[in-house]
Structure formats: structure tokens, C-alpha cells
Amino acid sequence: RIMLAPLTRGRSDPAGLATPLMAEYYAQRASAGLLITEATAISREGHGWPNAPGIYTQEQVESWKQVTSAVHAKGGRIMLQLWHMGRVTHSANNGLQPVSASATTAPGEAHTYEGKQPYEQARPLETAEIPRLLADYAAAAANAREAGFDGVQLHAANGYLIDQFLRDGTNQRTDQYGGSIENRTRLLQEVTATLVDVLGKGRVAVRLSPNDGIQGVDDSDTYALFDHAAKVLNDLGIAFLEIRDPLPEGTFGSGLGPRRAGHLKTLFKGPLIDTADYTADSAIAALAAGHADGIAFGCPYIANPDLVERIAAGQPWASSNPAQWYSQGAEGYTDYPAFNG
């Protein structure tokens, strides 16, 4: 019931290849019940973070095999998180104009190899392009299977492409993918169903962020939107639903209100995993109250590769250095020791 939440760490090479350092990092954390990798681009179009990995070339597939082998050798299980960044990519990183639900521009600046640059206006994905997008997700899922992953998680949270389609603040479409809540959840449903077709229900999970409006995405009726999304995913029978569920005073983004996991668990009948701002005590309380079936830990896992063992033994947790979260090399990545050395 203890999982590693997906965390962008920026340790792949510029071609999006997984590295031996990444294999060491994930193997260090293999005692978790399940590891979910950092967000991994499904295509060049969706690849927009410096030194983030991809899963759309054969060379990338081969590079990931060292990671899955290292985790499996430690008795662990690992899912690949599938990522299309939508409007928060940048042409400086992939040579392409960003795409999104509509012609909008994200607030703030993009991280590029040349430093931070203002986001560019996205072009709307044409209705006729949706089948191509679904094919990109299908190919990424098949590539993940070839690379040895135990399954995939669809990144539909945090203001990226799927989230941009979900919310009426970024989706101004007039076709079957815009307007009503039913239409705006259509792409989520179609992509998830595509992944299920490739891998099977038991090997596909989804991440949603119903309790925040991160990276400039917002909605006029957030709770109704994600209630419907939970029902859509329940009908698809996926392996589990993970919720990014920060508190109003969250440490890495503030929530809109109280945690939503307990409510969504009444709508989504499969396993539900909650994440954001949990301690060992609050995680145990959430499970005891029936608000979640497991807890994914993000930031705590950066400095505590042995988090499972620390929780079991009641040991204190180390703190990480945020300046090293996205830096290159082993510092702040694989050099955090276990509690017992």
C-alpha cells in the first residue's frame, strides 16, 4: 500500500534515453509496493522538458530495459507514466509548435536547454488528428511492454494535454471534444480505452488532479467534472486511479479544499491511491478511514530510498534539497543513504 509517486527528475540524456543512474535510482526504491516512473513522453510532439525520458524510439525502449531489469531483480514492480505535455512544451525543446485543446498559452515560462523562455501559444489539435494521437499512446504502451514494464499510468493530471482537454478554462472547442463535461472527458475515455486494448485492464492506471488548478488550468465546476471523470474510469475497469490531492496549505501546490479521495472512492469502485502531503500517521489514518486503498509518496521518496523500512520501524524521514531535484548527476538523486547506512 506504499507507492512511489511519479516525480520528474531530469536525469535522462538529451535523446530521452534512460541512463544507468536512473536504473540505480529506481532499484534503490524497489521495496515500494509499486513504483511509478517519472513522466515519459509518448512522442516528440509531447516531449518538452529538458532531460526527461521518452518511449517513442527503439533506442529509448532499449534504454529502459536496464531500469525494469534492475527493479525486478530487487523484487519490485514498476509502471511507466505516459506523458504528453500539450501546451507546456516548447519549440526550443522539440522543434514543434505546442498543441492543446484550444489556442491558449500557458502562464509563466518553459524550462528549455537554453534557459527559461515564455510559453508559446498552442495550436488546437484538429479533430482529424485525434486518431493519430490515440495511435501515439497505443505505440507508447506497446513500447513500455517491450521495455519490461509491469504496466502504464496515463498522466491526465497537472495541467498537461489530457487535463487541458478536461477543463473548460483551457478547452474552448465546439466539436465532440468540447463544451459539455461529457464531451470534455471524451479524450480521457478514448485514450484510456486505447491503453486497455493494448495492455489489458489490470495493467493500466490513470492519474488525475481534481483538487488543484496547476499550470494555469482551471474549470468552472471542478468537482462535477472530476466526479464524471471518476465514473468514466470506473466503467473502464482500470487497475487503479491515483489522485494528486494536495491540502490547501500544500507543500508543492495548494489544494482547492479538503482532500477529494474519500468522495471519489464512492464513485470509482476500483483501488484508489491518494498522494500529496502525507505523513506516515496521516497515511495510516486515511487507509483506516477507507478514504484510499494505498498512498503514493513523492517528495519523501527523494531523500528516503528506504521509505518503506522507515515507516515500518518508525524511523525519522530525511529532507531533500529542492535545488537538486532537477539537476544533473547523482547528487540529490542516488546519494541519499538508507537510515541504517
Cβ burial of 149 (10 Å; 0-12, 13-18, 19+) is buried
* Active-site residue (options: 25, 26, 160, 177): 160
What is the 3-class SS of 210-239, one letter each residue? CCCCHHHCCCCCHHHHHHHHHHHHHHHCCC
Q: Which of 179, 191, 253 is nearest to 220 (CA)?
A: 179
Q: Which of 170, 54, 315 is nearest to 178 (CA)?
A: 170
Q: Does residue 177 carry a catalytic annotation?
A: no
State the Cα–Cα distance between residues 98 and 100, nearest whole angstrom. 7
- Look at the block and give the residue holding cell 502504464: 152
Number of Cβ within a 10 Å radius of residue 97: 14
Contact 151, 239 (CB under 8 A): yes
**Residues identified as active-site:** 160
